[in-house]
Structure 1
Amino acid sequence: MTLQSDQKEFRSWLGTCRFSKPADNGETVFGSQAVPTECKAVVAIWADSEEQYLNVLSLRMERYGYGIIQVDDIMPAPAWMVLKARNRTGPVLARQVSAEFPFALDLIENNPISQDDNVGDDKTLKVIVTTTLHRVEPLDAQFGVFPRKTLPEALTEWFFGPATPNIFANRADTGNTDDNPSRLYAVLDAGKIPNLGELLSSSGLEYQCLFNGKTASELAEVAPYLVKLEDNNSFTRQLFSRGKEPWFLWDRAGGIFIRTAATLTELRKHLRKFTRINRGKNDWVYFRFWDGPVLNALLRGMKSKPSHVATFTQCPKTLTFITIDPLTDTANRFIIDQKRLAGAKKQPVTPAALIDTVQLETETQVSTEKRLIIEAHREALFTAPGPDDASMELLKNEIPFLKTCGISKTQYLHDVLVFLIRNDLTGGKLSPEQRDILMHKRNNAPTKIRQLEKTVSA
């Protein structure tokens, strides 16, 4: 990408980059800093987009003989400063870059990898590049708009744009021939999208259930479906539209998205390996990787485990995963560098080999609680934005207390949180009488709420 003449669109972008070079090349000097053969740094670049950031980063690293291993948290400097308020490096770097001086970095981890980290199959091959888009605005009904958009502008490049920027192009061990992810797929949950089978059959899109035979028939209303999405298709548009009408599906959080050059048959064959997993002693369960929070936790937990990444992502073609959280209107993209995994040994498809179950359950639980709090906050205060960080922390602290009161069902937690938020009773503001009502084990949640309402009205 070439720089545009209109410099007003350009600003400081920040990201965290891990990069390396062959040991015999010795150290390189960036500005006044001597950089070892492998290190991690916060990098500021004067850019107008994530793609521009990655392109400049690749050129700079190539100039100095370094290869990029991993890039995370790429975002404009203002967003970085909000999400990483404790990191003092970003703001300093952001002020250093401009159109005349477009590149700056500051090392945050400058020791070469130890021998212990470089043994056998699990070499340090952190090859999942994660990027998050915040405040993605879904489509509305688009009355009077022509031509109508298929998806939000913020997602156009990720879903139907040109090939994902090949930030690994300067590595000697790449040569990936699948860098043109020309197809967009969704794995959709019929349990979250009512009448999904009927919608797909009339959509004109190519699709297949991930289940086979009798299972596909018996579980049709809750099964996952692999769909090849097309631009300018009405069903694709519905997936990215928000509204009260039942055919607007953004808020359904219906599944995940994959960009790849693989055919639908190739991708389905690969994904079907993970629809069920054996927890041991022939205890088979369905593994809902097509649920956004589960996939987020899974991929983030795999970053430093190349054999696990290889097992899950080595389809015949490169896979790029995208998830959307409609509660916070954010999107996450996970780019996998398959060639970097060429030497990683695949493990048997079992929970022990593929999934860190403790971390997965923990991260999924955190995500579930966050969604629960945001939904309760929105219902209680009739506002679209979720709670600020301070309010989120207060409400998170309420959940363990409510569970000790015998309120554990998600719906009951939601109802009680709505009551507490609406009446400003969070953060230790409950009276002794109100605490006694909640702690009364024999009463269910609806009864407790009715009793609490009497204390407020009184």
Structure 2
Amino acid sequence: MTSFLGHCYAYRSNKQFHLVAAVFCSDRNDYETLVSTALKAKGYQFYWAEDVLLTADWVKQFPAEAADGVALARIVNEESCIALGQITRLAGSDDEAAQAQNWLQIEESDPFTPLDTQFGVHPKKNVPEELREALFGQPYPTDTPPLTTYAVLDAAKMPYLLTSLLMSSDLRYQSLFQGEAQEELAEHAPYLVELTEDSGFTRRLFTGPEGICGLWEKDLGIFLRSCAGFEALRKHLRKFIKVQNKDRKWFYFRFWERRYAHLFFGTACAETCWMMTISKQHTLTLLWSQGSSLFTARALRSMDDDIVMTRPTQEWVAALAEQESMTTFQNKIIHQLILPHPQHGHMTSEQAQALVKALIAQAQSFGFKSEYALSSYVTVALELSRFPITNPNYLNILQSAKHPDTKAELMLKSIISTKGNTDE
């Protein structure tokens, strides 16, 4: 065992940090394990180390940091095996943005299973027990108006059938469309439905394929809770069934799509705040299922809070869709490149997420946009075990005037050539 030095990267909340760490250990794996443990004790999550070298080699390679590195290396030994240098915050995280998110509370339920046929069960449940409190509980004092539960359901998922079921349900419901739009699109319109816990329609809504005539797998929509009342809620929702773009053209905004609800209502931003604020007295609670969990988004803000609210636009919706696409791409990178990598596959999911976000942000700063270019940048970083921008050879390529895909190709060729020479 001997002393190693390296540059380390960690994160806490939405902020990223850098430090130099000295570790008395046998190899790089031990180095990363000990650094991760030490940082976790201080409230940080480690995700990446580069330039992990024997102390003498590290000092030669980084003469400007040699004094601090040697001072750390002198501290470590068999009894005290790790020393962390000064932890400095990297640019790119925003304290004000983090504070602005305090008004939105996101909760995830315990995993649940939709209702089945419930043979022999009496009385039959109309909603899974794990979801009952979130959907029909009354958390407020009795002297305040009760929370009412609603759903926004998409008739386009079940043309003619859903409207027939609503008509026979004895529940209050009304389309969010009106006038000519409702006349033409009645069987493809979104409907606001006031749910009651004792309704047979509610039971069907939460019954899965193991039950009889269940609707859960149809992905019909999302759930809402409010004290504002049916008419006030419908009036509010109608404000954003369409959104404008910068050229003042109108587009339908399908905010009731269950698969996208986490984007529209799980993002603490001015647009989400606007949608979840019905009036000075009433905010909105949104609930949607994702996988086997129910997510609840509550607007906890006071009307006195100084939070900017902005009407949603088509550009905002498109940006969220692009963000979702990027998240899918990042997960693909993690599972196809990072986790299978022999040197970096030990990373936790959180570490891999932090690393891929940092690498993609670096690549994008040099104009990389295509999946080919971005994945190439990540590949080069993994093979180098360091950020490519810290390597002069790759930095020259990145700063050249070539097309981003050409830069990515040159970087890949360089790393393949370097690796081939090393193997020889």
- TM-score bracket, normalised by the shorter chain, equals 0.5 to 0.7
Kept in 2, the 8 Å contact 1:241–1:249? The answer is yes
Q: Which deviations, in whole Å up to 9, do the C-alpha atoms of 1:266-299 show, x marking residues without a partner?
A: 1001110111111232422111000012221122
**Structure 1 position 162 matched with structure 2 position 134:** no
Shift of 1:357: 2.5
Distance 1:124 1:136, change over 3 A: same
Alpha-carbon distance in 2 for matches of 1:368, 1:152: 34
Aligned AA for 2:112? V
Match of 1:148 in 2: 124
Alpha-carbon distance in 2 for matches of 1:286, 1:337: 28
Aligned AA for 2:286? F
**Structure 1 position 344 matched with structure 2 position 307:** yes
Alpha-carbon distance in 2 for matches of 1:234, 1:156: 15
Shift of 1:330: 2.1
Alpha-carbon distance in 2 for matches of 1:333, 1:255: 14
Among residues 121, 130, 148, which one is paired with 2:106 in the alignment?
130
| Aligned length in residues | 256
Alpha-carbon distance in 2 for matches of 1:364, 1:235: 35
Shift of 1:122: 9.8
Match of 1:413 in 2: none
**Structure 1 position 204 matched with structure 2 position 204:** no
Shift of 1:310: 2.8
Structure 1: tracts of 5 or more residues without a match:
1-38, 42-87, 94-105, 167-176, 371-388, 390-402, 405-458
**Structure 1 position 321 matched with structure 2 position 297:** no
Kept in 2, the 8 Å contact 1:178–1:261? The answer is no
Aligned AA for 2:156? G
Kept in 2, the 8 Å contact 1:297–1:364? The answer is no
Distance 1:366 1:181, change over 3 A: farther
Match of 1:280 in 2: 246
Match of 2:49 in 1: none
Alpha-carbon distance in 2 for matches of 1:209, 1:297: 24
Aligned AA for 2:171? L
Alpha-carbon distance in 1 for matches of 2:287, 2:328: 16
Q: Which deviations, in whole Å up to 9, do the C-alpha atoms of 1:414-449 show, x marking residues without a partner?
A: xxxxxxxxxxxxxxxxxxxxxxxxxxxxxxxxxxxx
Shift of 1:245: 6.9
**Structure 1 position 361 matched with structure 2 position 361:** no
Over alpha carbons, which structure has the higher Rg?
Answer: 2
Match of 2:26 in 1: none
Match of 1:185 in 2: 150
Percent sequence identity is 32
TM-score by length of 2: 0.52
Kept in 2, the 8 Å contact 1:230–1:236? The answer is yes
Map 1:82-161 → 2, pairs under 5 A: 107-108=43-44, 124-161=100-137
Distance 1:312 1:263, change over 3 A: same
Kept in 1, the 8 Å contact 2:118–2:124? The answer is yes
Kept in 2, the 8 Å contact 1:117–1:124? The answer is no
**Structure 1 position 299 matched with structure 2 position 239:** no
TM-score by length of 1: 0.48
Match of 2:341 in 1: none
Shift of 1:329: 2.1
Shift of 1:212: 0.7
Distance 1:210 1:369, change over 3 A: farther
Alpha-carbon distance in 1 for matches of 2:147, 2:202: 16
- The structure where helix makes up a greater share of residues is 2
Structure 2: tracts of 5 or more residues without a match:
1-11, 15-35, 46-86, 332-348, 350-370, 373-424
Aligned AA for 2:103? V
Distance 1:265 1:365, change over 3 A: farther
Kept in 2, the 8 Å contact 1:163–1:180? The answer is no
Distance 1:214 1:241, change over 3 A: same
Distance 1:212 1:369, change over 3 A: farther
Distance 1:367 1:224, change over 3 A: farther
Aligned AA for 2:129? E
Kept in 2, the 8 Å contact 1:181–1:318? The answer is no
Match of 1:240 in 2: 206
Q: Which deviations, in whole Å up to 9, do the C-alpha atoms of 1:148-191 show, x marking residues without a partner?
A: 10100110110111217x9xxxxxxxxxx998652000000001
